[in-house]
């Protein structure tokens, strides 16, 4: 099928990613002693007639701090190789000794090494039909049932077992949904930076870009960073009027393919926007490496590369921006050129693109109140783009509401929703207590999912207190003092 | 596929059933003013890539007593034509004026006129894969969402709407599960005679036949009914030793096909057992017609046909039994012969057989403590039989526990589980209060789902009080006085 062809062309990239990943996992296993296991799970949890067809789902396990009858902490994997999430969820390792906990990180189907049809998993619609959040939750419930029998003696299925779910971002949504859909599976869930309400009709589309802008505004004191970024859009669009101007941008910003058409300029806009978003999401107070290696406070470092001196100098602005963007695109200095095509670099990106088109439709729009180029939310266009990319229609906008209840969380219990207030995704978070068992905890001055990361000497009090809140919640669920 | 061939052979029967059904629905519509509607629902609620494929689901509606902003009472359809369940759920009609309620009866996919692939719905495994309880619940949540927008103005999806689910037997399980899986969909559920715990590992397999026996024992005073039935098994087995004996049974009981083999005798055992079970299930205090026309107290009428005088008279016993069985098989006197094959008479029987093989595995066994022929519970044999019939493997026995939590009901709210204490299915019911919002109500001296039937002048106080309990529960959920 033509829509899947760019994946085949990228085989080299995938192979390289696979090898790099192998190396990553090995060093990770040394650091955190993670053991890799696989379990056969039903391919389709909802079709009785095909219920006996299974595939291998991966999970990682750490029993270093585990004592008999100690709790099991389960991370509900996100959209990627589970080892990356295990590596970036140091909080679970930090608190494991306190609880004598067993740690388990379950991989999300269709990511990492949990591909239901191996290399053919994305080869057809038929093979991709099992990529849906409700199937994923059923996987997690299945694995938890299995773990219960593995790690507790004489299991009585009607007793409550000390099993707690953890998840961040999309994984945080899954942790919360696991507790909501399978309350007998886990006793509670720590759901960090989860945009639970970031669905059509639940959250105003302008808030996300506004929140990104607020992160950059922090550094306006020095350099009028957001003013420079806004000016940037006009300068780009002016230059884009001539081929000479487009050539200048292409050369200065080391684009792999020269800008030639309006469509190319549109791709450039998206590429820039995504860099700003990712910088804001990763604005940690120490160097990090989630998607790419970054310095501490990368937004600040980015902004410091811009100065007001070039505000009337087109050439100078493009050059300064070029240097600033390298903070994100080429921090280690090894990249030859920048690819602004929005094609998928690997299976994970493809799978995530598919999920965002089918179930996880999070409406965004930019307005005059933010630093982005103005772009309305257009569901029709979004759907059409999805159809072009994946050949599937987007689900009806009422689906998330029907499947998960939207803001109707009062029926559930034992979930902590933590929100980092400098995280753009907090716009779709549960930022107020829902009941006396569904809590919200807002962390001042903190970026995306920072509370689930390892403790660091540079952590501020807001963050230390947030983690302490999590520990108290877990102790309450486990009836500990 | 050969396993589906007997359906094709039965086309005449199906056509006839369809015509009879048409007539039934028409008279029903006159009596209860039910309007028939269809709604397009997703074929597969859990596969985003096929989410746009839909089929027509039927629902029946009665707005006779409905006033604006009045509640919506939704019956969650069982394993059959929804008009039959509408006809037998008079309670909803009886209380509609008190509540100014709109009544809706939703048909279960793969039954009645809600066949996803029309006449081809049972033609292949691929076409049958969407027959599963979780798909059914998603249908019901979908229809409820639709009804909300149809019957309430300016719907805010985060407000609570006065929509109550009702269901009996398997439909009662679905009503409870709807509230459990989609608590924002309905405010509460009246779940009558629902064998929620009738799954492997949850209920002892001997209880069901024991409960049936208790119903027949009620009439032992007159005629030693259960003693006669027990004796019956021995007499049959003795006669079955010779072809002459088998011929005598075949002729006396008007079997359509003569008994010839051990397998035939086994079929005869099952046929008899099912008649006893159905008589017990339908032992209402007035004439009824759920599966077949029956007199009031059919078990009593059956038992009265037997007398102790034939206890030493093989021929007399078989003849008396023949007359007694006609209470169930031929009460209107129009039937030519009795078919003891366990082949499926129509699509509904086929679909239900499939569901009992794939998801709804309810273990039964008979012992010396009951009046049935001794038969252990044999999961392997059950699975093998299912494979022979449908070509599918039974799901793993842990599935119901994982999907619905088994006896872990404490996490949920606003459900009344009513159990009729003379109903064999009460052995798998929720017969004790679970919490201060999950109630159990046990009705003395009552048969299967009787509380959801229309009020009758012959109703006893137990039954009147049970219905009053339901009304109070609904008023509480709706914040009425």
* pLDDT tens digits for range B6-35: 444 444 444 444 444 554 544 444 447 899
Spatial separation of the C-alpha atoms in residues B152 and B163, rounded to whole Å: 11
CA distance A273 to chain B (A): 28
**pLDDT (0 to 100) of residue B322:** 93
**pLDDT (0 to 100) of residue B15:** 44
Which of chain B's residues have a Cβ under 8 Å away from the Cβ of A129?
Answer: 44, 47-50
Mean pLDDT of A51-66: 91
Q: Give Cα B58 to chain centroid, integer Å.
A: 19
Predicted confidence band of residue A17 (pLDDT cuts 50, 70, 90): very low
pLDDT tens-digit profile of A98-110? 999 999 999 999 9
- The residues of chain B that CATH labels 3.40.50.1820 are 2-199+401-477
Is A411 close to B47, i.e. CB distance below 8 A?
A: no
Mean pLDDT of B365-377: 94
**pLDDT (0 to 100) of residue B29:** 46
Is B407 close to A158, i.e. CB distance below 8 A?
A: yes
CA distance B10 to chain A (A): 23
Beta-strand relationship, B188-192 and B163-168 = parallel
**pLDDT (0 to 100) of residue A346:** 84
* Nearest-CB residue to B125 (from A49, A134, A182): A49
Q: How many residues are there in chain A? A: 481
**pLDDT (0 to 100) of residue B26:** 45
**pLDDT (0 to 100) of residue B171:** 98
Which of chain A's residues have a Cβ under 8 Å away from the Cβ of B182?
Answer: 402, 405
pLDDT tens-digit profile of A364-375? 999 999 999 999
Note whether B369 and A147 are within 8 A (CB). no
Q: Give Cα B205 to chain centroid, integer Å.
A: 19
Mean pLDDT of B441-447: 96
pLDDT tens-digit profile of B193-235? 999 999 998 999 999 999 999 999 999 876 689 999 999 999 9
**Widest pairwise Cα distance in chain B:** 75
Beta-strand relationship, B54-62 and A293-294 = unpaired
* Nearest-CB residue to A359 (from B48, B392, B401): B48
Query: B306: Cβ–Cβ under 8 A, 6 or more apart, which residues?
Result: B223, B225, B228, B320, B321, B324
* Nearest-CB residue to B411 (from A50, A125, A184): A184
Note whether B242 and B260 are within 8 A (CB). no
Mean pLDDT of B265-269: 95
CA distance A103 to chain B (A): 22
Is B395 close to A51, i.e. CB distance below 8 A?
A: yes
Query: A353: Cβ–Cβ under 8 A, 6 or more apart, which residues?
Result: A344, A389, A390
Lowest mean pLDDT among A239-248, B335-344, B416-425: B335-344
Which of chain A's residues have a Cβ under 8 Å away from the Cβ of B157?
Answer: 201, 401, 406-408
CATH topology of domain A207-341: 1.20.120
pLDDT tens-digit profile of A72-97? 999 999 999 999 999 999 999 999 99
Which of chain A's residues have a Cβ under 8 Å away from the Cβ of B201?
Answer: 157
User: pLDDT at residue A325 above 90?
Assistant: yes
CA distance A29 to chain B (A): 31
From the candidates A346, A423, A451, A459, give the one annotated as an active-site residue. A423
- The residues of chain A that CATH labels 1.20.120.980 are 207-341
**pLDDT (0 to 100) of residue A156:** 84
pLDDT tens-digit profile of A234-292? 999 999 999 999 999 999 999 999 999 999 999 999 999 999 999 999 999 999 988 88
- Positions of B marked catalytic: 169, 423, 448
CA angle A369, A400, A447 (to 5 degrees): 45
Which of chain B's residues have a Cβ under 8 Å away from the Cβ of A409?
Answer: none
Please give the structure tokens belonging to residue B112. Answer: 């009645």
**pLDDT (0 to 100) of residue A398:** 81
Is B157 close to A408, i.e. CB distance below 8 A?
A: yes
Is B402 close to A50, i.e. CB distance below 8 A?
A: no
CA angle B476, B477, B478 (to 5 degrees): 90
pLDDT tens-digit profile of B272-303? 999 999 999 999 999 998 888 999 999 999 99
- Whole-number mean pLDDT of chain A? 90
pTM score of the predicted model: 0.90
Q: Which residues in A237-252 are b (16+ Cβ under 10 Å) and which e?
A: eebbeeeebbebbbeb
User: pLDDT at residue B465 above 60?
Assistant: yes
- Whole-number mean pLDDT of chain B? 90
Note whether B27 and B70 are within 8 A (CB). no
Predicted confidence band of residue B4 (pLDDT cuts 50, 70, 90): very low
Spatial separation of the C-alpha atoms in residues B224 and B164, rounded to whole Å: 45
Please give the structure tokens belonging to residue B326. Answer: 């006609």
Q: Containing H/E element for B282?
A: none
DSSP for A222-281, written as a single string: HH-HHHHHHHHHHHHHHHTTSHHHHHHHHHHTTBSS---SHHHHHHHHHHHHHHHHHHHH
Size of interface A-B (CB pairs under 8 A): 131
A169 is catalytic: yes
Mean pLDDT of A374-402: 87
Q: In this structure, what DSSP letter does residue A338 have? A: B
The yes/no answer on whether domain A2-199+401-477 falls in CATH 3.40.50.1820 is yes
ipTM for the predicted complex comes to 0.86
Between A397 and A404, the higher pLDDT residue? A404
Q: How many residues are there in chain B? A: 481
């Amino acid at each position: 099928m033509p829509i899947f062809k760019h994946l085949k062309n990228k085989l080299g990239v995938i192979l390289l990613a696979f090898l790099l990943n192998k190396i990553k996992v090995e060093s990770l296993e040394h650091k955190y002693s993670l053991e890799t296991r696989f379990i056969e799970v039903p391919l389709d949890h909802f079709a009785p007639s095909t219920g006996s067809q299974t595939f291998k789902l991966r999970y990682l396990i750490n029993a270093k701090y585990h004592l008999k009858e100690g709790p099991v902490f389960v991370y509900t994997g996100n959209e990627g190789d589970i080892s990356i999430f295990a590596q970036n969820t140091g909080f679970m390792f930090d608190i494991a000794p306190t609880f004598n906990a067993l740690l388990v990180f379950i991989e999300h189907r269709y990511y990492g090494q949990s591909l239901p049809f191996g290399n053919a998993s994305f080869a057809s619609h038929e093979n991709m039909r099992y990529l849906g959040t409700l199937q994923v939750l059923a996987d997690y419930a299945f694995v938890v049932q299995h773990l219960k029998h593995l790690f507790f003696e004489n299991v009585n299925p009607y007793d409550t077992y000390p099993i707690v779910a953890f998840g961040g971002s999309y994984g945080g949504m899954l942790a919360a949904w696991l507790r909501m859909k399978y309350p007998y599976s886990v006793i509670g869930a720590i759901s960090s930076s989860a945009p639970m309400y970031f669905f059509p009709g639940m959250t105003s589309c302008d808030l996300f870009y506004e929140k990104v802008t607020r992160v950059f505004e922090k550094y306006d004191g020095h350099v009028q960073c957001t003013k420079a970024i806004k000016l940037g859009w006009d300068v780009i669009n002016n230059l884009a009027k001539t081929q000479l101007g487009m050539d200048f941008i292409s050369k200065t910003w080391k684009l792999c393919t020269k800008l030639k058409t309006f469509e190319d300029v549109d791709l450039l806009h998206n590429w820039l926007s995504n860099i700003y978003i990712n910088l804001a999401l990763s604005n940690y107070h120490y160097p990090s490496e989630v998607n790419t290696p970054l310095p501490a406070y990368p937004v600040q470092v980015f902004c410091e590369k811009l100065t007001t001196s070039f505000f009337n100098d087109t050439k100078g602005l493009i050059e300064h921006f070029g240097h600033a963007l390298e903070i994100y695109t080429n921090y280690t200095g090894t990249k030859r050129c920048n690819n602004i095509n929005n094609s998928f670099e690997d299976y994970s990106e493809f799978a995530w693109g598919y999920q965002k088109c089918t179930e996880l439709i999070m409406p965004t729009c930019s307005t005059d109140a933010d630093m982005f180029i103005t772009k309305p939310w257009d569901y029709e266009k979004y759907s059409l783009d999805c159809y072009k990319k994946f050949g599937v229609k987007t689900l009806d906008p009422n689906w998330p509401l029907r499947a998960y209840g939207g803001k109707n969380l009062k029926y559930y219990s034992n979930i902590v929703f933590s929100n980092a207030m400098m995280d753009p995704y907090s716009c779709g978070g549960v930022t107020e207590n829902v009941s006396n068992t569904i809590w919200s905890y807002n962390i001042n001055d903190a970026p995306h999912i920072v509370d689930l990361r390892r403790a660091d000497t540079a952590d501020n009090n807001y963050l230390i207190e947030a983690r302490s809140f999590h520990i108290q919640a877990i102790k309450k669920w486990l009836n500990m003092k």
